[in-house]
A and B are shown apart, each in its own frame.
Chain A
Amino acid sequence: MINLDSLAVFSDITKRIEQFKLENKGYLIGYLEKVQDGVAEITGLSKVSNQELVEFPQKIFGLVFNLEKDKVGAIVLGDWKKLRQGDEVLSTSELLSIPVGEELIERVINPLGQPLDGRGRIKTKKFYPIEKIAPGVTLREPVNNPVQTGIKAIDSMIPIGRGQRELIIGDRGTGKTALCLDTIINQKGKDLICIYVAIGQKSSRIARVVDSLKKYQALSHTVVVAANASDPASWQYLAPYAGCAIGEYFLDQGKDALVIYDDLTKHAWAYREISLVLRRPSGREAYPGDIFYLHSRLLERACKLSKKYGGGSLTALPIIETQAGDLSAYIPTNVISITDGQIYLESDLFYAGIRPAVNVGLSVSRVGGAAQIRAMKQVTGKLRLDLAQYRELAAFTQFTAELDPKTKALIERGARMVELLKQGQFEPLEVEKQVALIFAGTEGLLDDVNVNKMEEFETKYLEFLDKFYPSLLRQISKEKKLKTEVSEALKRAVLEFKEKYGYTTVDQKADEISG
């Protein structure tokens, strides 16, 4: 219990009243004509500018969206049901900005920066505008530092660099969010600050996300910005820009930040809703004409600043949900063309038990290769090709019994690599362990291990390395490349392990079946 001294409270209030000084100030005003679905139409308000903040009674704010002759359209940021016709609307000559700072870390906030987690006021010192023009060409430098997602399939084949924009796309329930959560969890104890922006999701889902972040101690480097499905469309529209503004604060501090937009499909829906109510001309799928600009100006703000400008970075991982795997729909193609690559998750793979369900053929990272550590590059050189060939051959040979030895070897290798890249949720792996595992696979050291035993092999082998060769792992993570003696030692370690735990012979029966 807090013991409140009534006299102290009283004197404090008196002091505050004494200190308060009202500035009588002239305002330009307008009058509320109508409100429909969170969009207000206002007459008057001459000289108001676009994207300006306007104030309704009861401290409800609005954002100017449409400037027309003699009237102004504004989206209401708050409970628009409280507004009445004829209400006075004040222009504030301010841009919409939100509080930013380290104080937001570990908190759950709404797009206006108000806490949603019931843990009291957030005392921030700085404000950042929600909309900002992205840094220009001269301020940037190419990505050169990786975001370690801790997911084998991604870190090896679709590497993401700090400052990159990598789209995560797939049908509902293919593990898009799970993939992002794993990435956040993997940043535990590292120097990347994560911002998770939930747009138009069920509150229960957001609660679950926050819970799992808490459970894996990943909330201590994470800010959650949430605009639930039940919040007004204006909030859902603002949420990604708010998340981006928070990220920009860390960027300006010279730090590295990662923003996850989950998901931009719902963001586009919210914007479509607002635009239709504002009577803007609609185009394909009823989206307004500037729907491309909506996402491009958001994702352009992700960047890697050059040393001269602090060297910070802002990585963006937008998520897009497709319908029945349709990559060529309007919003997916838009965002694919804006981003520096995409990770395509497929439901067929997901239900076949290949998780994460990354479709290696359709997933690319256009700039991340430069950020990958040398050791990883050394071991994954052939991985993509091996897998692509495997997919092709596996489809072909489903009907053939007889195979030439070379084809058979390729298929065997591919099957093992697919097994090797499987990974459970909430089990991110350190990069050196990934290197050690993939090294064993690409060197063909696992060709004689039973496919069904791959999972068991993986866990036991990593335990074995931890126990007997920790220096080897340390060396990889320190030098970030595989020297000849290290790879020799790794090879010996695998052989020794196979010998010791009896993985050397392929089970005759299983061989017949798979053959």
Chain B
Amino acid sequence: MIDDQIPKTAINEELLSRLKEEVVLELADKIQKEKKALVTSAVPLTNEEKESLKNILSRQVERVIEIENLVDKKLLGGFKIVLGDWKYDASLAYLFQSLKENL
């Protein structure tokens, strides 16, 4: 039942465009060595999605970044990226959590 209501794709255009604005490079010292970005999503990423994420991240760090996908239903929707010391959370669970803290 609930599974039906969870969107089948993890990423939409809006989330991607926001990610593009994020400046990773500034913080890149420690991230330099990392070649692999861990992307957790509520539903498995499609190859297309992986590719677009890879492009965005690689451009930001000016280096080729591999994408490894983990699936965690607790995120409810969206995705989160961990690249070395850097974390970017665009999941629904995070949205709800922030909403709860701010109300």
Contact = CB atoms under 8 A, between A and B. Distances in A.
- The answer on A and B forming one complex is yes
Interface of A: 13, 16-17, 20, 22, 24-30, 44-47, 59, 88, 90
Contact of B89 (A24, A45, A59): A24
A28 B84 CA distance: 9
Contacts of A13: 103
Contacts of B85: 28-30, 44-47
Interface size class of B (residues with CB under 8 A): 20 to 34
B99 A47 contact: no
B95 interface: yes
User: For the complex, would chain A's binding face be called helix, strand, loop or mixed by DSSP majority?
Assistant: mixed
Interface of B: 15, 18-19, 22-24, 27, 29-30, 82, 85-90, 94-95, 98-99, 101-103
A27 B95 contact: no
Given A29-B86, A47-B30, 5 more contacts: A17-B103, A22-B99, A28-B27, A44-B85, A47-B29
Interface centre among B82, B85, B90 (most CB of A within 10 A): B85
B27 A22 contact: no
Contacts of B87: 26-29, 88, 90
A59 B29 contact: no
5 closest A-B pairs by beta carbon, nearest first, are: A46-B30, A26-B88, A29-B87, A24-B90, A46-B85
Contacts of B18: 24
B102 A20 contact: yes
Nearest to A44: B85
A26 B86 contact: yes
A24 B95 CA distance: 9
B45 to A, nearest CB: 17
A16 B24 contact: no
B98 A22 contact: yes
Contacts of B90: 24
Contacts of A44: 30, 85
B27 A26 contact: yes
A71 to B, nearest CB: 13
Nearest to A88: B87
B103 A24 contact: no
Contacts of B27: 26, 28, 46-47
